[in-house]
Each structure stands twice: as C-alpha cells, then as structure tokens.
Amino acid sequence: MAGVLEKALSALFDEPVKVTAAGRTDSGVHASGQVVSLATAAAFPFERLAVALNAVLPADCSVREAAVVDAGFSARFSASQRTYVYAIASRPQRDALTARYAWHLPRALELDPMRAAAAQVVGEHDFQSFCSILPVGPSNEARSTVRSIYHLTIEPCGGLLRLEIAASGFLYRMARSLVGTLVEVGSGRCSGDLAGVLAAADRSAAGPIAPAHGLYLAGVRYDDGYDSFAEPPVFAARLRR
C-alpha cells in the first residue's frame, strides 16, 4: 500500500514522496482506518488531495480524507492507540462473498472461554509470547515487548464473529497471534490460561497465527482527539441493521 500511495503522491506533487504509516500490515491484511503522514514543499490545493488521489489510485486502495497538520506530526509516532478488528466465519459451509475478508472455520467456537481468556491479556503485559520477531533498535539492541491492551471484545455480528483489540501498540503479528490463540481456546484445544502464556515469554507457548485476510487495521487515535476508526466493510452493513 505504501509504495502505491507514494507513487501516486509523487506524480501529483511532481517530486519524490515518502510516507510514514501509523501501522505496518502484513501482506493480505486489510486497513479501513490507516493513517499516513508525509512532508512536501509542493504547492497543491490540499483540500482537493483526497479526490485527486482517488482518481489515480488502483481500485483496491482509496483515501477518505486529507489535512494539513503541524510539521512535528508523525502518523506512527504521534499515535496513542491502534485498533484492529478480526473477522471469523464460524459455520459449516464457507461463504464465497467473505472468503477474502474473514477466516472460515467449519466448527462452532465457545465464546465464554474465549472471553475469559481475553480478559487475562487486557492491561499492561509483556507480550513476547505473542510476537513472531522480537523488535530491535537501529543498533540491534533489544526493544521492549511490553504493551497495553485497552480492550479485547468478542461478539457475534450478523453471522460472523467480530474480535476488536485496542492497544497502545502492537508487536509483529501480535494481533494475529492473539486471535489464533483465542480460537484454540474456543475450539477446546487450549486451556485458556493466557496468563500462563504471557508469563512464559516464549512464542511456542501461544497458539498458531491467524490468517492475514481476516485482520483489519480499523483505527488510529491521537492525543488531540482525532480517531480514524472506520468499521471494516465486512461488518458495516451488519451493524446498521
């Protein structure tokens, strides 16, 4: 996505453009509330930027809004909270219309054990057990794997299961690892002792990584009150009913 957006912006501004995204997403992960920032000296009618970009971007990439902000703003480093939403289709028969946007599981999940397990990871914890690659700094020094989860909800929504995770930040594949582990709990293949998984500080203690195509970066919040949250389309129509 970043490369596609940079190419379009570079053409519009007639200069090389690099963007900073609020969150990095693996191949196959969707974003309904991504935020990016950039610096440019181009003279451009920025109130028309979203329209201009959507005229040249490919069909699978679109811009909702654009604004001029203070020079010190960073989509990534100024963010105070990120929210991911995950879609699960838990039913015997797969649905071709949601195949690219929800993880199909041909069996029912027990929600009460999943919710009890999810409650154990809310708050500030070391999430090393849910991280595929440990974060390092510019000089290869180890960085903290402590993060704060503000809420983790699991609710049925129009025939799908909707998981929402809001946190101060996410480690590499942390959201998908949490979802995969919770599915193991709901399937009865895991005890639900996520406190023990956290304490182990070992990736092998957690469950498998959930597929990328069910995950959405749905929103990014900033201290000035701005929140880019947009309900993923796979749920939006169902929530309006």
Domain holding 230: CATH number? 3.30.70.660
- Burial degree of 200 (CB within 10 A; 0-12, 13-18, 19+): middle
User: Out of 14, 26, 95, 224, which one is annotated catalytic?
Assistant: 26
Q: What are phi and psi of 124, to 5 degrees?
A: -90, 125
In a domain, 235, yes or no: yes
pLDDT of 159: 87
pLDDT mean over 134-145? 76
Evaluate whether residue 22 is within a structural domain.
Answer: no
- pLDDT of 26 reads 80
Domain residue limits at 89: 80-240
Confidence of residue 139 (pLDDT cuts 50, 70, 90): low
Closest CA to 14 of 46, 42, 56: 42
pLDDT tier, 195 (very low <50, low <70, confident <90, very high otherwise): very high
Asked whether the beta carbons of 34 and 217 are under 8 A apart, the reply is yes
Strands 36-37 and 146-157: unpaired
pLDDT above 60 (res 240): no
Query: Is 33 part of a structural domain of the chain?
Result: no
* pLDDT at residue 237, rounded to an integer: 67
- The answer to whether 224 is a known catalytic residue is no
For 69-79, write each residue's pLDDT tens digit: 999 999 999 99
The CA distance from 31 to 192, in Å, is: 29
Query: In this structure, what token pair is assigned to residue 228?
Result: 């880019």
